[in-house]
Amino acid sequence: MEMDLTQAVQQNLLNTDRCLVCVQVAELSTWAKTSRILALVHHQGEYGLFIFAIDKSPVATASDLSLKAVVGIDAAVVCDVSSPLGIVEADLEFKIVKHDCTYTFEMSIGQECNTFVAEFYRVLQSCHEQYGDGTLDFSWVKPYGGEEIRGSSQAQGNQPHSHVSLSKATGNSASTFYTFEDNFQTSVPDASLKKSSALPAMASGGNLRQKLEREVTPLLRHSSLDMMGSRDGIIKRVMETREDEYTDIQTFRVFTGTWNVNGQPASVALQAWLAGDDEPPDMYAVGFQELDLSKEAFLFNDSPREDEWLQAVTNALHRGATYTLVRTIRLVGMMLVTYVAEPLRERVIEVAAETVGTGIMGKMGNKGGVAVRFLLHNTSLCVVNAHLAAHTDDCERRNQDHADICERLRFARFDPPLPIWQHDVVLWIGDLNYRLDQLAYDQVMLLMEKGAFAKLLEYDQLYTQKKKGRAFKTYEEGPITFRPTYKFDPGSDTYDTSEKCRVPAWCDRVLWKGQHVKQLTYRSHPTLMISDHKPVSALFDVGVKVVDVVKFKRVYEELMKQLDKLENEYLPQVTLDTMEIDFDRVAFVEPAAQYLIVANTGQVPVEFEFIRKPNDAGYCKPWLSISPYKDYIMPGEKRDVKLEVYVKAAMAARLNAGDDRIDDILVLHLHGGKDIFVTVGGRYVPSCFGASLQALCSMPTPLREVPVAQLVDLGSPETPAAAAAADAPYDIPKEIWSMLNHLYEFGVQEGSLFQQPGLPSEILQIRDVLDTGIADSLPGSVHSVAEALLMFLEALPDPVVPYSHYQQCIDRSRDVTACEQLVAAFPPCHSNVFRYLMAFLRTVLYFVDRNKSDVMESLALMFGSILLRAPPGVEPTLPPRMLDNCKATFVTNFITE
Amino acid sequence: MAKKTYDLLFKLLLIGDSGVGKTCILFRFSDDAFNTTFISTIGIDFKIKTIELHGKKIKLQIWDTAGQERFHTITTSYYRGAMGIMLVYDITSPKTFDNIAKWLRNIDEHANEDVEKMILGNKCDMEEKRMVSKERGEAIAREHGIRFFETSAKNNINIERSFMELAEAILNKTPSRDTSTNHTNVHVSQSSGHSSKCC
Ligand SMILES: Nc1nc2c(ncn2[C@@H]2O[C@H](COP(=O)(O)OP(=O)(O)OP(=O)(O)O)[C@@H](O)[C@H]2O)c(=O)[nH]1
Ligand SMILES: [Mg+2]
């Protein structure tokens, strides 16, 4: 036998919880339609929407259901019901949105569906009324396998969200809904937390931070805007939450009045109703019902009565003050007029008015409500003037009208549209039409005569419905000490004497909601007799939040400071293990590396880059390379940056001469942040590599034994020391001699000389022997010596073919005789070296047995490019290929037999 | 529509010899704190601070430079774009005062022509060690037509005031933009979470 669904659900619940209503639906996701049971569950004043999966259909026992998710119902839940227009018998779409998570269900229209949706709305409404826009923590859901985490205040802390698992059905941010999948392992960090890169920082300590976290973080989540972009928004929100700190409560007198005028023209003076007190009120809210019963008013919402009554009210306002009309609003017969006393005029802003019809088809305005809202100083105030369904038996209908107005009346100029309950103070006036139950005309008259209003009130429908929580649950009403205001024979003070002989009732009421509201009087005004109702008034003292400019400024400035601090903390920050990199000894072609550790010690990801200083060609000197020179580092992470020095032939001369130094300041730039200077230093060890031929010829000792000062002098040809060197002790530098000698002895027969690279380590040893003279013979293979020779020649500050003769040598490279003459004209050491090299190359070629011409060609090209180098800064006159050919031709002249 | 966060952005620069207290001055202004240990700035750093002047919200971006001699060629390249420069010396160190002339030359060479300048004689709390009289400071400032304050980052003397005056001087030069924006409104809308669609 099929089991009652509610029973099956109930058996899945704890004893403390009760299934109010449930319905079978289909959950719609992108891919599928899945059968579900929706159950509205009540737990000690709180509600949850439980979503069950159906494991076995039809549902026969409790175990055929398994709980998939729970949506805690609070103000964050938005519900939308729609049906495809014009299609009868169509399915209803029921959409639940909480934060950024959406569930969509399909329900087939019917009694069950109606009951469920109606009940759901009722619950939602009462949650709004009861808890405002505060959110609940739904800890009672915990025993079902976890906790509703979103929307609760604890979500702002650093609690682990380990119990949350992602819903497959929605694939959305999981934290909104609490869903139970097969297991609970998946930990999903708050999705909105991830959205803002600025946020991770807030996890760490600090008192101020925690405070800000409390204040700012939820707002950031809410607005899901990024930190910097929404600073204004954040300021506004935080200021709102801290309102108490800078506002004082100041009391203002508010007059409210309501009168069902039964379609009568404004033919009487209203002072008795509106201006009966000694003191003038600071604000008026006057509501009318049945202002106009004409067909025109009903169908076209057009009424001459509007102006008439407005005028009547304006004329009757208290003489003790000057009033300004704030706003009037009318829907058919319902009209609401609001005024403030002149000095308050400047303090009324964000005025809005809205109407809701609840008459026939839920639309027509013969019944419903009109409302005006505004900010009075810093307190939001909403006045609702309603005319609810008539007739004694239609109590339920009146409740429904009230619920509809609460739900549907939203001030559309706000985004999102602002509902009634989101106001500090709500004043609800009108012909609410609630009657006296169970009592006959005579009984009422009797009790009334006795003045037993309290007794009478026990039969008042509004009183009883309110008590049951079926309408106006969260509203207050003052004690009624006046006689029922309905129904009178028009023009008299006599209760209905007509055939119908209606039982008198307190149709016309004033209720309120909000803090700091004190009712002073609650009266009816029987002297006004044109209608079958008597006007009612209630006078209030309303405590309004008034900004204290000095306090406001202090709070505001404090907040600015906090935000500045936060912003400063969010600037990229790194820490370096050192600001100075010392390479100590740096030598020719000897690579050396040092590491710089860049640690992201800030709150945000850092993009760093070594940037170029003005006047510099690159971000570092040519002898240095940095890797990576730009990169990203996540907070808490580090990057090792490798700095490598390598002095190549082209840089050696300047370093040798002291024109350049191993010395640089690097600028490490953090994008969107600061720059850090990193000093790089080292001591260059001078070498014969990079020394001039002239200097080397005049040095009898190895280079290392020459004092540095003299070395520098010898480097530049203009100095006296260099001039003295003109008559040098050697024809060619001993270093060249040493290398060539070695090659003559061990290499020329090799045949493959200059065709194979040497070993870097051997080249360094050769360099050291040449610089120090510590050994008589050179170490390493002939190929290393050969490459060292090429490096040596390349490093010469003035090439073997001196810069001064370069152009002529190129120009006349095809003319052998001219070339010989040019060489003869070189400074002696240059021509000596040149001739010596050429003789050597001829010997090398002599031993080449195969492809002699190829080898010659490659030697000529190689030596041509090294021996003939264009002076720095000189634009080449020929294309590179032709230039290379000229150089090779020049060399060829001297190496062909 | 989201309003922008501030009305104006001013870029300020602190320069002067190493150890005169530039970093401390900035730290006092931004964090209202002071540190006696000297950690020489090796680079260029900045902090932001929002102030309100004549109803305008102004975001100050204040750059602190390395004072050490060896960085001078680099730091001068940061002068361009600064709208205000604070030139700081130490009243207990005549050398730092003598260098004012050099710093002023640097400004002339590298900063925007219309940059607003200010001279600060810092550490005025150390009266017993004073080596540069206030009169000398005032004199050199007058000579160059520059505002002058004696300050103490340590005792929080004239720090806020000097920044405000410098900002004010810049503001006075800034052509006032559309006057339609109203800044004096202290009225904070209460209706939480609901921004007005219109306006
Ligand atoms: N007594 C006193 N000491 C100060 C004051 N301001 C700074 N100092 C001290 O002076 C020293 C240097 O201060 P910094 O602010 O780091 O100096 P700086 O000008 O930034 O130096 P660089 O970064 O090297 O250019 C620190 O030891 C501070 O404590 C002050 O107003 N009074
Ligand atoms: Mg510093």
What residue ranges do the domains of chain A occupy? Answer: 5-175, 250-548, 574-684, 687-797, 800-897
Query: Which three-class secondary structure string do you get for A499-517?
Result: CCCCCCECCEEEEEEECCE
Closest residue in chain B to residue A571, using alpha carbons only: B47
B71 alpha carbon, closest ligand:
1
Q: At residue A634, does pLDDT exceed 70?
A: yes
Query: What pLDDT does A102 receive?
Result: 79
Given pLDDT bands bounded at 50, 70 and 90, which one contains residue A362?
A: low
Ligand 1 close to Cβ of residue B96 (< 6 A): no
Name the band, by pLDDT with cuts 50, 70 and 90, for residue A363: low
Q: How much of chain B, in percent, has pLDDT values that exceed 70?
A: 84
Residue A617: is its pLDDT beyond 60? yes
pLDDT at A1: 47
Does B5 contact ligand 1 (Cβ within 6 A)?
Answer: no
Element spanning A25, H or E: strand A18-28
Task: Calculate mean pLDDT across residues A592-601.
Answer: 96
pLDDT at A117: 80
Contacts of B49 in chain A (CB under 8 A): 564
Select the residue of B52, B66, B196 nearest A414 (Cβ to Cβ): B196
Residue with tokens 């119990």: A163
Residue A759, SS3 per DSSP: coil
Region A720-732: mean pLDDT is 58
- The predicted model gives A88-95 an average pLDDT of 66
CATH fold of A5-175: PH-domain like (2.30.29)
Where does the pLDDT of residue B150 fall: very low under 50, low under 70, confident under 90, or very high at 90 and above? very high
Task: Read off the tokens for A407.
Answer: 């739900």
**How would residue A201 be classed by pLDDT, with cut points 50, 70 and 90?**
very low
Q: Can you give the pLDDT at residue A711? A: 59
If pLDDT is split at 50, 70 and 90, which confidence band does A716 have? low
Higher pLDDT residue, A214 or A83? A83
pLDDT confidence band for A400 (50 / 70 / 90): very high
Ligand 1 atom closest to the CA of B155, numbered from 1: 31
Mean pLDDT of A508-533: 96
Mean pLDDT of the A473-489 span: 94
Dihedral sign for Cα atoms in the order A769, A775, A781, A787 = positive
B77 contacts A674? CB cut-off 8 A: no
| pLDDT in the model for residue A45 | 83
Q: Which helix (H) or strand (E) holds A581?
A: strand A580-586
Confidence at A165, pLDDT banded by 50, 70, 90: very low
pLDDT per position as a tens digit, A228-249: 445 777 788 888 889 999 999 9
Give the nearest ligand 1 atom to B65 CA: 25
Give the pLDDT confidence of A250-270 residue by residue, as tens digits.
999 999 999 999 999 999 999
- Give the pLDDT band of residue B131 (cuts 50, 70, 90): very high
Instruction: Report, as an integer, the average pLDDT of A395-400.
Output: 93
Facing residue for B189 by CB, picked from A375, A567, A615: A375
Residue B160, Cβ neighbours under 10 Å: how many? 14
Q: Is the pLDDT of residue A295 over 50?
A: yes
Res A174: pLDDT? 31
Mean pLDDT for B71-81 is 92
Identify the pLDDT of residue A707.
Answer: 66
Mean pLDDT of A715-724: 49
Least trusted range by pLDDT, from A137-146, A504-513, A876-885: A137-146
Cβ within 8 Å, pair A375-B191: yes
Give the model confidence (pLDDT) of B30-60 as tens digits: 999 999 999 999 999 999 999 989 888 899 9
**∠ at Cα A563 (A558, A564), nearest 5°?**
95
What percentage of chain B's residues is helix, strand, coil (to nearest 5)?
Answer: 35, 25, 40
Q: What class has domain A250-548?
A: alpha beta
Cα distances (angstroms) measured from residue A112 to each of A83, A108, A119, A131: 16, 9, 11, 28
Could you tell me the end-to-end alpha-carbon distance of chain B, in angstroms, rounded to an integer? 9
* pLDDT at residue A512 is higher than 80: yes
Q: Answer yes or no: is pLDDT of A761 > 90.
A: yes
Report which of A535, A379, A386 is spatially closest to residue A475, judged by C-alpha positions: A386
Give A98 or B170, the one with higher predicted confidence.
Answer: B170
Residue with the smallest CA separation from ligand 1 atom 3 is B123
- How far does the CA of residue A637 sit from the closest CA of chain B (Å)? 21
Phi and psi at residue A12, to the nearest 5°: -90, 0
AA identity, residue B67? G
Q: Which residues are CB-contacts of A499 (< 8 A; sequence separation ≥ 6)?
A: none
Q: What is the DSSP letter of B127?
A: G
Instruction: Give me the CATH topology for the region A687-797.
Output: Phosphatidylinositol 3-kinase; Chain A (1.10.555)
Contacts of A72 (CB under 8 A, 6+ apart): A46, A47, A48, A98, A136, A138, A141, A148, A151, A178
Average pLDDT score over residue span A781-795: 93
Looking at the predicted structure, is the pLDDT value of residue A207 above 80?
Answer: no
Given a contact cutoff of 8 angstroms between Cβ atoms, the answer to whether B189 and A240 are in contact is yes
CA distance A572 to B118: 29
How distant is the alpha carbon of residue B107 from its chain centre? 15
Contacts of A558 in chain B (CB under 8 A): none
* Interface confidence (ipTM) of the complex: 0.89
Residue-wise pLDDT for A173-191, tens only, equals 333 344 443 222 223 333 3
Report angle CA A121, A125, A126 to the nearest 5 degrees.
Answer: 120
Name the token pair of A785. 């010596």
CB A582 within 8 A of CB A678: no
Which is it for strands B147-150 and B116-122: parallel, antiparallel or unpaired?
Answer: parallel
CA-to-CA distance for B16 and A463, rounded, in angstroms?
A: 79
pLDDT of residue A196: 32
Looking at residue B191, what is its pLDDT? Answer: 37
Please give the C-alpha separations between residue A796 and each of A683, A725, A880, A886, in angstroms, as whole numbers: 20, 17, 22, 21
Tokens representing A379 are: 């307190």
Chain A residues lying within 8 Å of B195, measured CB to CB = 233, 236, 414-415
HEC profile of A651-675: HHHHHHHCCCCCEEEEEEEECCCCE
Q: What is the pLDDT confidence band of residue A30, given thresholds at 50, 70 and 90?
A: low
In angstroms, the separation between the Cα of residue A486 and the nearest Cα of chain B is: 37
Residue B9 at interface with chain A, using a CB cutoff of 8 Å: no
Helical spans, DSSP H, in A270-318: 271-274, 295-300, 305-316
A308-351 pLDDT, tens digit each? 999 999 999 999 999 999 999 999 889 999 999 988 988 999 99
Tokens for A638, please give them: 């580090």
pLDDT tens, position by position, A32-68: 678 889 999 998 888 899 998 888 877 878 888 888 8
Name the token pair of A493.
């003070």
CATH no. of A574-684: 2.60.40.10
Residue ranges of alpha helices (H) inside A716-759 are 720-724, 734-746
Q: Percent of chain A, pLDDT > 70?
A: 84
Strand partners of residue A665: A679
**Is the fold of A687-797 the same as that of A800-897?**
yes
Average pLDDT over residues A624-650: 94
Are A564 and B50 within 8 A, CB to CB? Answer: yes
A225 pLDDT band, cuts 50/70/90, is: very low
Helices (H), A747-847: 760-772, 782-795, 803-811, 816-825, 828-847
CB contact under 8 A, B189 and A579: no
Under an 8 A CB cutoff, do A239 and B5 touch?
Answer: no
Higher-confidence residue: A216 or A708? A708
CATH topology of domain A800-897: Phosphatidylinositol 3-kinase; Chain A (1.10.555)
